[in-house]
Amino acid sequence: MSSRLPGFYNLSIESRWRALAEQGWLSPEDISELQRGLELSRADKMIENVIGVYGLPLGVATNFLVNGRDVLVPMVVEEPSVVAGASKAALAARECGGFTAEADESLMVGQVQLLDVPDLERAVQSALQHQAEILALANAQDPVLSGLGGGARSLRVRALTETPVGPMLVVELECDVRDAMGANAVNTMVEAIAPLLATVTGGRPNLRIITNLADRRLARARVRLRPEVLAVQGLDGQTVARRIVEAYALAVVDPYRAATHNKGIMNGVDAVVIATGNDWRAVEAGAHAYAARSGRYGPLAHWQLVDGELHGELEMPLAVGTVGGATRVHPVARLALGLMGASSARALAEVIAAVGLAQNLAALWALVTEGIQRGHMELHARQVAVAAGATGDEIEAVARAMVASREVRLDAAQRLLQQMRKRRQGDASDEA
């Protein structure tokens, strides 16, 4: 199966289903599932006080080659240009062998905060002396995870002497959560070990919760681009590559740019995280905390010129699962996971890292050439046309007129729509 699907964007939704079914990406059951979406009765089991289902578009980014494997990437996002940008960057990467990616083991950390500890030094020693007992108690909470070769692995104990409420101890439980995101698994464990920690340290447990700074669960993606694949009308590839590195340099030294650089990465990352039913707030929290790990907020993806080639690399925490949470409860998330063929949480994280890097490339590429507004505006114009009340073929006509006049605004859309409808009424009465 190839993720290279030329002209896919021009097809109707039905034709896209057919094209994907012909290639073997989708089964007839998958297509019915996509038509059904999330039903109210299922939604009612997911959160509290449900009164409806909120829809978002699910698209697929094409052209992705990750570790030599063709991947069709499901993306759920409300912003135009994200899917197109990822697909365009993935095509350039594909012409140079695609992305390589790797992910660490699924190690998550849960924290137990202990206050009123009589002797911090002794408490640290005592917690470590009881490590085996504490780990056994943690692992007794999740026989499934232990059976899969995962589970609690080690303890780290830190004394924090200066905090706004005085000295405290934090005990960190490292756990291999295998193919889960792991928050429930780890939270259950830290809640279970807290009373034992109280006994062995003499402290009073307060917080018992996972940390979202999942820096032992990093994913990395790399790409090496020959400059010619970056050439655009009027600009040779070497100039584009050099400008991309120059643009990246601002993100290195300036958090104002780094925030936007990373926002572009998260456009891609979040879209896949949401499509697969994973917790995007957790991934966002981890990403930005990791970006600030040196004390200064910096870029998650890095670009350099090496022997005339443009090399890109992304590294970020990616706590995502292929089991647990909403991944199997939401029917479309389950389908999205199947579509990606991600056999494990690590394989999923690898693809997401590649998508993040592709999205960063797409943004930088557009920014250093025509700017992002041109491509963005064409898609954005359709949304503005809909917001102004356009329906059916009016949407395309109003959008095109706005782009031509470089006025993509609600008031312009309303004016154009009025004019268009008046003209049509006039035509209709002429014919009558």
Only one of the segments 77-85, 138-146, 228-236, 361-369 lies at the binding site for ligand NAD (rule: CB under 6 A); that segment is 138-146
- Nearest approach, Cβ of residue 280 and ligand NAD (Å): 9
By C-beta, is 212 or 359 nearer to ligand NAD? 212
Q: Does 105 bind ligand NAD (CB under 6 A)?
A: no
* Sole window of 154-162, 238-246, 318-326, 409-417 interacting with ligand NAD (rule: CB under 6 A): 318-326
Residue closest to 359 by CA, chosen among 231, 242, 214, 261 = 261
CB of residue 233 vs ligand NAD: minimum separation in angstroms? 45
Is there binding between residue 142 and ligand NAD (CB under 6 A)?
yes
Q: Which amino acid is at 369?
A: T
Partner residues linked to 186 by β-bridges: none
Note whether 145 binds ligand NAD by CB under 6 A. Answer: yes
Indicate if 380 belongs to the active site.
Answer: no
- The first and second tokens of residue 190, run together, are 């830290």
**Alpha-carbon gap, residue 368 to 47, rounded angstroms:** 43
Residue 62's φ and ψ, nearest 5 degrees, are -100, 175
Instruction: Based on the shown chain and the rule CB under 6 A, indicate whether residue 275 belongs to the binding site for ligand NAD.
Output: no
**Distance between CA 58 and CA 330 in Å, rounded?**
13
For residue 376, indicate whether it is catalytic: yes
Token output for 418: 């009025």
For residue 125, give Cα distances in angstroms to 110, 119, 197, 397.
19, 10, 12, 72
* Catalytic-labelled residue, pool 30, 70, 270, 279: 279
The whole-angstrom distance between residue 400's C-alpha and the CA centroid of its chain comes to 31
Torsion angles phi and psi, residue 155, rounded to 5: -120, 145
411 is catalytic: no
Regarding 333 and contact with ligand NAD (CB under 6 A), the answer is no
Please state, in angstroms and rounded to a whole number, the distance separating the CA atoms of residues 51 and 389. 26
Tell me which stretch binds ligand NAD (CB under 6 A): 17-25, 112-120, 143-151, 385-393.
143-151
CA pair distance 54, 38, nearest whole angstrom: 9
Span interacting with ligand NAD, options 126-134, 248-256, 320-328, 361-369, rule CB under 6 A: 320-328
Does residue 286 interact with ligand NAD by CB under 6 A?
no
Residue with smallest beta-carbon separation from ligand NAD: 324
Torsion of CA 60, 82, 345, 291, to 10 degrees: 170
Cβ-contact 270, 287 below 8 angstroms: no
Smallest gap from residue 416 Cβ to ligand NAD (A):
43
Q: Which of 19, 46, 323, 367 binds ligand NAD (CB under 6 A)?
A: 323
Nearest distance from C-beta of residue 71 to ligand NAD, angstroms: 21
Q: Is 144 in the site for ligand NAD (CB under 6 A)?
A: yes
User: With respect to ligand NAD, which residue has the nearer C-beta, 183 or 362?
Assistant: 183
Under a CB-based contact definition with an 8 Å cutoff, are residues 258 and 364 in contact? no
79 assigned to active site:
yes
Say which residues have a Cβ less than 8 Å from residue 15's Cβ, sequence separation at least 6.
Answer: none
* 34/16 Cα distance (integer angstroms): 12
Q: Rounded distance, CA 395 to CA 385, Å?
A: 5
User: How far apart are alpha carbons 48 and 310 in whole angstroms?
Assistant: 48
Find the shortest distance in angstroms from Cβ 312 to ligand NAD: 28
Site map 176..215 versus ligand NAD, x via CB under 6 A: -xxxxxxxxx-x----------------------x-x---
Q: Which residue number, 131 or 184, has a Cβ lying nearer to ligand NAD?
A: 184
Residue 146 touching ligand NAD (CB under 6 A):
no
Minimum distance from residue 326 beta carbon to ligand NAD (Å): 6
Round to whole Å and give the CA distance between 91 and 86.
9
- Residues lying near ligand NAD in the complex (CB under 6 A) are found at 142, 144-145, 148, 177-185, 187, 210, 212, 279, 282, 321, 323-326
Which positions are catalytic?
79, 263, 279, 376
